[in-house]
Amino acid sequence: MEIQVSNVSKSFDKKQVINDITFTIPIGEICCLLGPSGSGKTTLIRLMIGAITADQGTIRFGEKEIPNMKMLKKVGFMPQNDSLYDDLSAEANLHFFGGLYHIGKQELRKRIDEVLAIVDLTEHRKKLVRNFSGGMKKRLSLAAAILHSPKILFLDEPTVGIDPVLRRKIWDQFQVIKNSGTTIIVSTHVMDEVTECDKAALIYNGSLIEYDTVTNLLKKTVNGRVEELFFIASGKSEGGAVQ
């Protein structure tokens, strides 16, 4: 499903956090939201999933304006902090999320098997989440986010604290999900991850400073590193340290 963000602005306590952002993400692409800490990535995701409303502007998934209850079923969201139940097994957590999405019993059983296989946790399905490593929790959160086969998947810094080998595995999973026709929006401040994406939206102090294909963005740099575009932006405005 295509996502259209048009002239969206948002303030908290009179401080403008998102400043007149406009961009369109085509169906089945991976778009990364790239920016320093505090630049507004999570706020933009929260606006896009309809968790908060914009002060100005509109967000559309296909023809439908957000927020829209019917669209919720088509959206998957993996938050920065895992929202899993420690006292439940991996499988029981997925049963819980399946209930929220009103997935039928038989279909849910089938999907739980599928998503556990995708995130490589089948053999740990009976284990309590409290005994999971950080990486296993991330993978289970991803499984929960894709349980209902969403058409749009939002991932808020999904690989924070994940070692490079597991990070590779997780990105392989994102590519599989993308190839099934899902549009993916992923926020990160790991600049290396940008090469995994089709397009990148560079967010700086709440503004969209660049939005283009990753290939075109890299062409604009001298050394082929996306950070350079932020260094240029930070020279133009004050604040917001680049990590």
Ligand X SMILES: Nc1ncnc2c1ncn2[C@@H]1O[C@H](COP(=O)(O)OP(=O)(O)OP(=O)(O)O)[C@@H](O)[C@H]1O
Which tokens is 227 given?
Answer: 């950070």
Contacts with 188 (C-beta within 8 Å, 6 or more apart), sequence order: 32, 33, 34, 157, 158, 159, 194
| Candidate ranges 41-49, 55-63, 67-75, 170-178; the one touching ligand X (CB under 6 A) | 41-49
Contacts with 53 (C-beta within 8 Å, 6 or more apart), sequence order: 47, 67
Residue 89 CB, nearest approach to ligand X (Å): 30
Q: How far is CA 168 from CA 117, 224, 229, in A?
A: 16, 21, 25
Considering only 4, 23, 38, 232, the residue that binds ligand X (CB under 6 A) is 38
* 79-131-112-92 Cα dihedral, nearest 10 degrees: -90
Rounded to 5°, angle at Cα 96 from 93 and 97: 90
Can residue 37 be called a binding residue for ligand X (CB under 6 A)? Answer: yes
- Identify which of residues 11 and 180 has a Cβ nearer to ligand X in the complex: 11
- Report the candidate in 147, 149, 75 with the shortest Cα–Cα distance to residue 115: 147
Residue 19 CB, nearest approach to ligand X (Å): 11
Can residue 41 be called a binding residue for ligand X (CB under 6 A)? Answer: yes
Q: What phi, psi does 55 have (nearest 5°)? A: -75, -35
Q: What phi, psi does 80 have (nearest 5°)? A: -60, -45
Binding-site residue total for ligand X (CB under 6 A)?
Answer: 12
Residue 143 CB, nearest approach to ligand X (Å): 23
Residue 10 CB, nearest approach to ligand X (Å): 9
Contacts with 9 (C-beta within 8 Å, 6 or more apart), sequence order: 16, 18, 19, 20, 21, 54, 55, 56, 57
- Report the candidate in 175, 109, 106 with the shortest Cα–Cα distance to residue 142: 175
Pairing of strands 56-61, 3-12: antiparallel
| Candidate ranges 34-42, 98-106, 122-130, 135-143; the one touching ligand X (CB under 6 A) | 34-42
- Identify which of residues 33 and 112 has a Cβ nearer to ligand X in the complex: 33
- Identify which of residues 14 and 102 has a Cβ nearer to ligand X in the complex: 14
Instruction: Give the per-residue contact string, 170-189, with ligand X (x = CB under 6 A; - = no).
Output: -------------------x
| Candidate ranges 21-29, 37-45, 142-150, 167-175; the one touching ligand X (CB under 6 A) | 37-45
| Candidate ranges 10-18, 24-32, 63-71, 231-239; the one touching ligand X (CB under 6 A) | 10-18
- Identify which of residues 43 and 149 has a Cβ nearer to ligand X in the complex: 43
- Identify which of residues 38 and 135 has a Cβ nearer to ligand X in the complex: 38
Binding footprint of ligand X on the chain (CB under 6 A): 12-13, 17, 35, 37-43, 189
